[in-house]
A = this chain, B = another copy of it.
Amino acid sequence: MSALTLRQRLSAIETGALSASASIAEFAERVDAADGDIRAFVRRAPAETLEAARHAAGPLAGIPLGIKDIYDTADMATEHGSPIYAGHRPRADATLVAIAREKGAFIAGKTATTEFAYLTPAKTRNPRDLAHTPGGSSSGSAAAVASGMVAGAFGSQTAGSIIRPAAFCGVAGYKPSFRLLPTVGMKSFAWSLDTAGLFAPTVSDVALLAALLTGRALDVEPVEARDLRIGIYRSGADDALSPEMAEAVSRAGRLMERAGASLIDVAETETLAAARLAQPLIQSYEGAQSLAHERLIEGARLSESLRQALAEGAALSPERYDEARRAARQGRKAATALFEEVDALIAPSALGAAPASLATTGDPAMNRLWTVTGNPCVNVPGFQDEDGLPLGITLVTRFGRDRAALSIADLLERLQRPD
């Protein structure tokens, strides 16, 4: 890991203690040394891009970012984790990429994604233990940040593809309120779920990155624990949690309580459970449409599992889909109502630590609800199981209260950090 946080690095660059060029070179060396094992990158920036970034100005000058390979880049191929797009070179940068460059960031390369951001794993390995999955679908972005090869990264979540890999790799992951970050130029899987988001080593870093990219007041601000009502969200899927994960959630609650927050158990209502269960249907129906060309014309080059998932989606009736969307809409209202009782919810980011396999990216069961409701979520890193593998805690707030999500997550991260 790099010795400096993103915040410290930007400060060092601002004061002149570190040059943008030296900052970038430091990360590039780290990629050279580590990525042979970790395989976070599928493509690195061309020499011209590197050269331009060394002299870039702007609030993100000197900051290398890894970009999930479903975001279009004009200077590099964009392959969506599929042989169908081998060598495909978009005409323009995706909106978020263009904005990052405008702010001076170095687009260091494209990070590995599962096939079309669905389930077929990329080759990436978990930097915390190479035998374990880094999670998916934003596998390379989470792993690149966790191994200090970039200062931040872009990902996307349609079911659990930001929060889960952030949890497995032990970094901060931020899934903003739905459509806070533009998805233009990002390969679509399910338009009513696809959410662009960010990774960074710490919550404070990811908040700063979000603030600088958007010009919004998203940076963490001090919060008083004693003013907070924190809910522990009890999902109908909690039965599948590992004991370590359940204990990490309890521990997170105790830390907040000890700091002065009041703690409330929040049971999943039927409406919220229905929204959670509607997520796979929406994803499947829209996926069959978003990938209509690939499904109908190039199906032979899809993985067996994706081909089957898309066939199932294509077989769903519009009525079934509309019913799922109604459940989602009711779920959004029910989620908003939860935040009349609490300021934030704590929930597991995954069923447990990263599975000891590269043949799966793990289960998004804990993430589906908050994707379908569009609430802001932050994965708080720092919790661990007995083997030292990361366990992620999700901090959720009301739709549009992204700054609160980031600020309270930052508080929790600091409370559990062994100083």
Shortest Cβ gap from A66 to chain B (Å):
19
- Among A36-44, A95-103, A373-381, which stretch is in contact with chain B? A95-103
Contact string against B for A residues 166-177, beta-carbon threshold 8 Å, 1 for contact and 0 otherwise? 000000000000
Shortest Cβ gap from A277 to chain B (Å):
21
With A and B bound together, what is the CA distance between A203 and B199 in angstroms? 49
Contact string against B for A residues 297-329, beta-carbon threshold 8 Å, 1 for contact and 0 otherwise? 100000000000000000001100000000000
- Any chain B CB within 8 A of the CB of A333? no
Copies of this subunit? 2
- Any chain B CB within 8 A of the CB of A130? no
Is A184 touching B290 in the complex (CB atoms < 8 A)?
yes
| A290-B95 in contact given A182-B191, A184-B191, A318-B214 (Cβ < 8 Å) | yes
Is A92 touching B191 in the complex (CB atoms < 8 A)?
no
Contact of A91 among B74, B85, B214, B216 (CB under 8 A): B85
**Segment 77-133 of A: residues with Cβ below 8 Å from B:** 84-85, 88, 91-95, 97-99, 101-102
Contact of A74 among B184, B289, B293 (CB under 8 A): B293
Is A294 touching B102 in the complex (CB atoms < 8 A)?
no
Indicate the member of A74, A85, A297 with the most B CB atoms within 10 Å. A297
Contact of A95 among B95, B99, B214, B289 (CB under 8 A): B289
* Chain B hits for A179, CB < 8 A: 191-192
* Chain B hits for A91, CB < 8 A: 84-85, 88
* Chain B hits for A293, CB < 8 A: 74, 92-95, 97-98, 185
* Chain B hits for A216, CB < 8 A: 318
* Chain B hits for A188, CB < 8 A: 184
With A and B bound together, what is the CA distance between A97 and B297 in angstroms? 12
Contact string against B for A residues 228-257, beta-carbon threshold 8 Å, 1 for contact and 0 otherwise? 000000000000000000000000000000
- Given A74-B293, A94-B293, A95-B292, output 14 extra A-B contacts at Cβ < 8 Å: A85-B91, A93-B293, A95-B289, A97-B293, A98-B296, A98-B297, A101-B296, A102-B292, A182-B289, A182-B290, A184-B289, A184-B292, A185-B293, A215-B317
In the A-B complex, the 8 residue pairs with the smallest Cβ-Cβ separation, listed nearest first, are A98-B292, A92-B293, A98-B293, A93-B293, A184-B188, A184-B290, A95-B292, A216-B318
A positions within 8 Å CB-CB of B:
74, 84-85, 88, 91-95, 97-99, 101-102, 179, 182-185, 188, 191-192, 214-216, 286, 289-290, 292-294, 296-297, 317-318
